Amino acid sequence: MAEKSGSDETPIELRQKISRSRELVVRDVGALRYELNFPLKFKRAFQRNTVVWVGAALAVGLLIALLRARPQKIYLSASGKKVRSPNKSLLESGVLLGALKLGISLAQPIVVNYFKGKAGSKDTPSRPRRDW
């Protein structure tokens, strides 16, 4: 047999309570959506503090321009010919190894799935399809 609920509220009161809780959830989700709207936050921050943002952009651009304008060091051998910088070869090999590691980490799931599919198709015979 079905048990009686311990609540003495009428169905009308329950519906009102449910509608109030729904309104609270809708309000909270709306507030969360507003808090997570980062493009709008950046737009308003730029509108309120335009001078600061433009000044920061100019400072960063100037810094990048000054860093790139440094004089380049040229190494010469005893005979007067150009020699590669010893640090440059280390830098190039480091960049090459970093790119290789990135490429391997990106290609690893593809290669593993390919060989798993090949191994799986040879070891297990195909099962008949079951239509239930």
Q: Is there a contact between 27 and 20 (Cβ–Cβ < 8 Å)?
A: no
pLDDT band at 29 (very low <50, low <70, confident <90, very high): very high
129 in a domain, yes or no? Answer: no
- Of the chain, the end-to-end C-alpha distance in Å amounts to 35
**% of the chain beyond a pLDDT of 90:** 24
pLDDT band at 2 (very low <50, low <70, confident <90, very high): low
Do 30 and 63 lie in one domain? The reply is yes
127 in a domain, yes or no? Answer: no
Do 53 and 97 lie in one domain? The reply is no
Residue 53: Cβ-neighbour burial (10 angstroms; 0-12, 13-18, 19+): middle
CA distance 107 to 103: 6
pTM (two decimals): 0.36
For 72-88, the pLDDT digits (tens) are 777 777 777 777 666 66
Do 62 and 22 lie in one domain? The reply is yes
17 in a domain, yes or no? Answer: yes
For 101-117, the pLDDT digits (tens) are 888 888 888 888 888 87
Determine the average pLDDT of the residues in 8-12: 84
Do 32 and 64 lie in one domain? The reply is yes
Do 61 and 18 lie in one domain? The reply is yes
Domain that holds residue 41: 10-70
Tokens read off for 23: 């309104």
Q: How many domains does the chain have?
A: 2
Do 93 and 48 lie in one domain? The reply is no
User: What are the helix (H) ranges across the chain?
Assistant: 11-35, 38-48, 50-68, 86-123
75 in a domain, yes or no? Answer: no
Do 41 and 91 lie in one domain? The reply is no
Do 16 and 45 lie in one domain? The reply is yes
80 in a domain, yes or no? Answer: no
pLDDT band at 127 (very low <50, low <70, confident <90, very high): low
